[in-house]
Amino acid sequence: MTEVLLVAHHDRMEAAALARSAATWLAEHGHTAWMTPADAEPLDLLDLVSERKPESAGLALSLGGDGTMLRAIKLLGGAPVPVIGVNVGLLGYLTELEPPALIPALERWSAGAVAGEWRIEERMMLDATVQPSGRCEFLAVTTLPVPAPSAPTTGVSPPLPCSMLPLPYELPE
C-alpha cells in the first residue's frame, strides 16, 4: 500500500474531479490518497484531508499546471517523492500527462517500474533569491523567474514583478 499525496489547482473544477477520480481508483487498488487541508478545503474535498506530512508520501499527484507542480515540489520540501504531473492548467511545461491519461498512468505505476514500463526522471531544482531591484524568492524546475520589467506577463493580472525566462539567463549589471 502506498500513501499518495494529491495536490490540486484551487480554481479548476477539473482538478477537483481528477483528485476525486484518482482517490477512488487508488482506494479500490489498496492505496491511500490524501490532501493537505489547504488543498482540500477550496475544492470541497474535505473527506480527503489528512494531517500527514507531505514528505511522508510514497507518491504525489500534481493536478494543475506548472504552478501546481511547483507547489507540490515545494510541499515535499526536497524529500525524494516521485511526482506525476497532470496538466489542467494553462502551460503544462512541467507536467507529463493530460487528464485522460491519469488512470492509465496510475495503472502503470501500480504495476511497478518493470511491468509498467516506467522510470523516475530526476530534474534539477533551483531555489533562488534574486535581489537587483527588490527581493524575489522562487523555487524553479528547469526555469528561473528573474526580474525583467520589460518582459510581457501575458495572462497574469495584475502583472507580476518577475517573469519566467528560460535558463541560462544572465542578470543585467
pLDDT digits (tens, 9 = 90+) for 100-117: 999 999 999 998 888 888
Q: Residue 128: what pLDDT? A: 66
- The one-digit pLDDT tens for each residue of the chain (173 residues) are 899 999 999 999 999 999 999 999 999 999 999 999 999 999 999 999 999 999 999 999 999 998 899 899 989 988 999 999 999 977 778 888 999 999 999 999 998 888 888 888 777 676 666 666 666 666 666 544 444 444 444 433 333 334 444 444 444 44
CA angle 74, 116, 112 (to 5 degrees): 65
Q: Residue 168: what pLDDT? A: 42
Q: Residue 70: what pLDDT? A: 86
133 by DSSP, 3-state: which? coil
**All domains in the chain, ordered by first residue:** 3-111 (3.40.50.10330), 125-166 (no CATH)
Say which of 44, 47, 66, 127 is annotated catalytic: 66
Q: Residue 130: what pLDDT? A: 66
pTM metric for this prediction: 0.75
Can 39 be counted among the known catalytic residues?
no
Strands 125-130 and 136-141: antiparallel
Give the Cβ contact number of residue 28 at 10 Å.
8
Q: Residue 115: what pLDDT? A: 87
Q: Rg for the chain (alpha carbons), in Å?
A: 17
CA angle 77, 82, 84 (to 5 degrees): 110
How far is it, in rounded angstroms, from Cα 132 to Cα 134?
Answer: 6
